Copies of this chain bind each other. A is one copy, B any other.
Amino acid sequence: MSGTQRARTVTIDCGKCLLRRHGSPAPELQSALAPVRQSRIGSRVVPPGTDICIEGEPSTEVFTLVDGWAFRYKLLHDGRRQILGFCLPGDFFGLGSEGEEGHDHSIESITGTVLCVFGKRQFRAAMHSDPALAGLVRRIVRHEESAAFEHLVDVGRRNAIEAVAHLLLELCSRLNGGRIPANCSCRFPVTQTHLADALGLTAAHVNRVLRRLRQDGLASVDKRSLIIHDAGRLAELCEFSRDYTARLPAI
């Protein structure tokens, strides 16, 4: 599904990084800032629908998503796709397992995205020399695992309405740094097909579920935007707990 346009790599001043407006300059990371920046290659602008990482292929780079949406996924031979999770600004990925050959999953951009690109070798060296950085990365990976576990409950033990509700709340919460504002409305470039592939459903059925949520006045997704009308009832419906959606310091 690679786009036709080419990705461009440019250099942007770290001081102007969009992520800093999130007010998370990772205080305990001051010591590591220098080596991390030294491992930095530059920024990259990626068109929508482009594979940023490809399962099985090795890579010499790791990324922070600065702007835009992407998702992690795996494919089966016959084309079935499982979306493993969505990547939002501030997310870090591409590190893989040390000593492993290739990525264990692919990552594709949904919107046009801006990436901050680091050299993997240099980044690993920075982690090795700075325990705080190493600790943050470990925390990030642990956080991803926690989200994967929650996702597993969605797919395995929640029915379609609960699962969709839960995923919508998760995304809304993550977009807002771990809270769900009253009457939240956010940009939402995720298609019904994406939701289906994330939750082990079909797009047709996701459509029916969304209509249901809309009719019940709980949430509505259209025109590429998501509105949570009644976060309370929605959270009750699917037993949502926002603990796992807290924002971690960006790298």
Find chain B residues with CB under 8 A from A100 CB.
243
Find chain B residues with CB under 8 A from A76 CB.
153, 157-158, 239
Chain A 30-51 against B: per-residue CB contact (8 Å), 1 yes, 0 no?
Answer: 0000000000000000000000
Interface presence of A105 (CB below 8 A): yes
Contact, CB under 8 Å: B152 / A82:
yes
- Distance to closest chain B CB from A67 (angstroms): 24
Interface presence of A95 (CB below 8 A): yes
Find chain B residues with CB under 8 A from A134 CB.
127, 131, 134-135, 138
- Distance to closest chain B CB from A27 (angstroms): 13
Interface presence of A96 (CB below 8 A): yes
Find chain B residues with CB under 8 A from A128 CB.
131, 135
Find chain B residues with CB under 8 A from A99 CB.
139
The secondary-structure label for the interface of chain A is: helix
Number of copies of this kind of chain in the complex = 2
Find chain B residues with CB under 8 A from A131 CB.
127-129, 131, 134
Known A145-B141, A145-B148; judge A156-B199 contact (CB<8 A): yes
Contact, CB under 8 Å: B80 / A243:
no
Q: CB within 8 A of A149: which of B138, B143, B148, B198?
A: B148
Interface presence of A137 (CB below 8 A): yes
Interface presence of A146 (CB below 8 A): yes
- Distance to closest chain B CB from A248 (angstroms): 9
Chain A 63-84 against B: per-residue CB contact (8 Å), 1 yes, 0 no?
Answer: 0000000001010110011101
**Complex CA distance for A81 and B105, rounded to whole angstroms:** 27
Contact, CB under 8 Å: A149 / B104:
yes
Interface presence of A112 (CB below 8 A): no
Interface presence of A86 (CB below 8 A): no
Q: List 11 A-B contacts (CB under 8 A).
A: A74-B149, A80-B157, A82-B152, A97-B143, A98-B142, A104-B146, A104-B243, A134-B134, A145-B145, A156-B197, A157-B200
